[in-house]
A and B are shown apart, each in its own frame.
Chain A
Amino acid sequence: MSKNFFDYYSKYAQETPDKVLLRIDENTLTYSEFMEKTALFGSALKKLGIGENDKVGLVMPNSIEWFIAFWSAVRIGAQPVPMDPQSGSLELSRLIPATTVKVIFAFEKYKANSILGAVSALVPEKISLTKVICFADENALPKDDCYITADKFVAEYGEKECEIFQPEYLHTMSLACTSGSTGTPKILSVPSGGFLSTQKDMGDYLGFTSDDVMMLGMTLYHQGGFGMGQQMALKGGTMMYQPQFNPVEFLETVQKYKVNVIQLTSTLAKVLLSTPDFDKYDLSSVRACYFAGEVLPKEIADIFVEKLGIRVINVIGSSETCTMVVWDSARDAGTDPSDFRKLSFTDVRVIDAQHNDVAEGEIGELCVYTDGVITDYFGNPELSAEKILTDDQGRRWFCTGDLVNKLPNGIVRFAGRSKRIIKRGGNLVHAEEVEACLLTHPKIAAAAVTDEPHPVIGQQIVAYIQPKGDEKVTRGELARYFDGKLSAYKVPDKVVLVEEIPKDIGKIQFKYLRKKEYK
């Protein structure tokens, strides 16, 4: 059995060398170019002394270069470490030492963030790195020997041939960094064999073929967005990402390239559906839409399934596990998209605080087995012991922090993230539930709900709202709208209108939210 991604990539490079593997805007990478370029960059890294288990940082947005840098490191047994290209020097000052990266691939900037500015505030004075390899013009580089342009790097060090590292099943393929909602980075050791097998199994389940084209709304530097794309690559198909999410371009791209599978979050879907002239786009090529990362309101699922005739697959997955459970309109139509079932290659338990199974009808924490469950949190044995359980058969289970209601017939109903519960007075409010209701409001394009300390009620519910166009949304209006839909105690106590809900990775990024408030 193949257990190396490169077995698949090499095979497709031989069978369909000119087929587009990855498209980002008008930039493309074919299967044969993938093999050539990863050899070039991989051999260059080797010549720098990078080898098995060395960490290679990527501070780059969605791009062909990101993909090449990632797989060049994997090709030689090193471990790529994607970092958010919005990271500033403070975030990098934590991430770089914590991940022990030796070299970094970087873009000059991403949006308003000067990546090289953030890196050069640390390297080389405060942090020493072997090289910072920059996809930038020579004159944009900081004046220090450790900075080199990517062109010069491959010209000086690269070779055409580069051996492909054969990983053990549990070899760490990459380190994925998640900041979560707290801003403290968690670093995940992604296992080579398990990550591959779960992505392949999911691609099989979804019936992906080499003729398919998949368009992803989430990003490459987010483990979920990256993994879902791999489900298509393992079939020899084409995956597409955007440099940054733009609803009109997304729809135009789907139409132009006759995309078959799209991947969205509820927030992105809501933004897409509110695009002027949404109906004029020809989306008839789309056969499946893949939702992940947020609660999917039934209203949105219904539009896709009933109005657009698109199969909806709503998944609960995490960077730590790959896909865990799904709601699939092809199988579960008529039920709520928050009612999930396990897949043939995953297993589920609903547990209490003592790790005992809860009774049917009770709420507990979702604990999941997949072959892709991370082997550990890099450098954090305490957290690893708390979250990753190993059973008698040696299978790794992950305690997800997702709260679910255990229903008959193996169904688990999503009730919210345990860490996103707002304790408002004596009431517990699931932020996701409030968000799902807000997203059905006709004037709201996107919403994010969080808590704020309150001297009297403990925590109050704060809703950050991105209105459609110039619309104004007030708390009073929301209260009237919520009336009859949700309990009064779930009405946001405070409404903050923002220009944009930061959702770069497809999911709401709370750490950036407060900066976005209208002044």
Chain B
Amino acid sequence: MNNLDWNEFTQVISDYVGVDASEITKDTDVYDDLYLDSLGLFGLGSHITETYKLGLPLSQVASISRVGEFFDLLNEKGTPSED
């Protein structure tokens, strides 16, 4: 477990997608509510992993559809990346 802070996580997402952090919940749909397409999700994925300096396999990012899943995935499977 990486012990990520949920509020901080939503702020990082908000900074990237421009949707207010208060509107982001675990159920927020990355496609419909964050207006991302699949490449945009990769873009968001890189932004988040860079911010937290954690690595994730892209294939797992591709299967995400809700913000909560992203949070859980990063929390549980994110491995420290080399700078």
Residues of A bordering B, CB below 8 Å: 424-425, 427, 454-457, 460, 474-480, 482-483, 488-489, 491, 493-495
Contacts and interface: CB of A to CB of B under 8 A. Distances in A.
Given A474-B18, A475-B16, A476-B17, A457 B34 contact: no
Contacts of A493: 40, 43
A456 B17 contact: no
B43 A454 contact: yes
A476 B24 CA distance: 12
Given A427-B39, A475-B18, 13 more contacts: A425-B39, A454-B43, A457-B42, A474-B18, A475-B16, A475-B17, A475-B35, A476-B19, A479-B17, A480-B35, A482-B35, A488-B40, A489-B37
Contacts of B39: 424-425, 427, 456-457, 489
Given A476-B35, A483-B35, A456 B40 contact: no
Contacts of A478: 18
B16 A457 contact: no
A456 B18 contact: no
Nearest to A426: B39
- A427, A475, A483 — which one has the most chain B CB atoms within 10 A of its CB? A475
A493 B42 CA distance: 11
Contacts of A425: 39, 42
B35 A479 contact: yes
Contacts, number: 54
A479 B36 CA distance: 8
Interface in B20-70: 20, 34-37, 39-40, 42-43, 45-46, 58
B59 to A, nearest CB: 12
Given A479-B35, A480-B35, A488-B37, A474 B19 contact: yes
B78 to A, nearest CB: 16
By secondary structure, the B interface counts as helix
Contacts of B42: 425, 456-457
B42 to A, nearest CB: 4
A477 B40 contact: no
Nearest to B37: A488
A372 to B, nearest CB: 42
Interface residues of B, number: 16
B37 A456 contact: no
A201 B40 CA distance: 48
A456 B19 contact: no
Contact of B45 (A456, A474, A479): A456
Contacts of B17: 475-476, 479
Contacts of B43: 454, 456-457, 460, 493
A517 to B, nearest CB: 15
Interface string B3-26: 000000000000011111000000
A478 B40 CA distance: 14
B37 A476 contact: no
A479 B46 contact: no
A479 B18 contact: yes
A365 B59 CA distance: 38
17 contacts: A424-B39, A455-B46, A456-B39, A456-B42, A456-B58, A457-B39, A474-B19, A475-B16, A475-B17, A476-B19, A477-B18, A488-B35, A489-B40, A493-B40, A493-B43, A494-B16, A495-B18
A426 to B, nearest CB: 8
A486 to B, nearest CB: 12
- A457, A477, A491, A493 — which one has the most chain B CB atoms within 10 A of its CB? A493
Contacts of A424: 39
A479 to B, nearest CB: 3
Nearest to B44: A493
B14 to A, nearest CB: 8
B81 to A, nearest CB: 12
A407 B29 CA distance: 41
A427 B40 CA distance: 12
A479 B37 CA distance: 10
A454 B46 contact: yes
B37 to A, nearest CB: 4
Nearest to A478: B18
Contacts of A456: 39, 42-43, 45-46, 58
- A427, A476, A477, A491 — which one has the most chain B CB atoms within 10 A of its CB? A476
- B19, B20, B39, B46 — which one has the most chain A CB atoms within 10 A of its CB? B39
A350 to B, nearest CB: 30
B20 to A, nearest CB: 8
A506 to B, nearest CB: 29
B32 to A, nearest CB: 10
A475 to B, nearest CB: 3
A248 to B, nearest CB: 31
A317 B42 CA distance: 39
Nearest to B46: A456
Contacts of B58: 456
A176 B35 CA distance: 44
List 3 tightest A-B contacts by C-beta distance, closest first. A479-B35, A474-B18, A475-B18
Contacts of A476: 17-20, 34-35
Nearest to A481: B35
Contacts of A455: 46
A456 B42 CA distance: 7
A482 B34 CA distance: 13
A214 B58 CA distance: 57
A455 B46 CA distance: 8
A488 B39 CA distance: 10
Nearest to B19: A476
Nearest to B16: A475
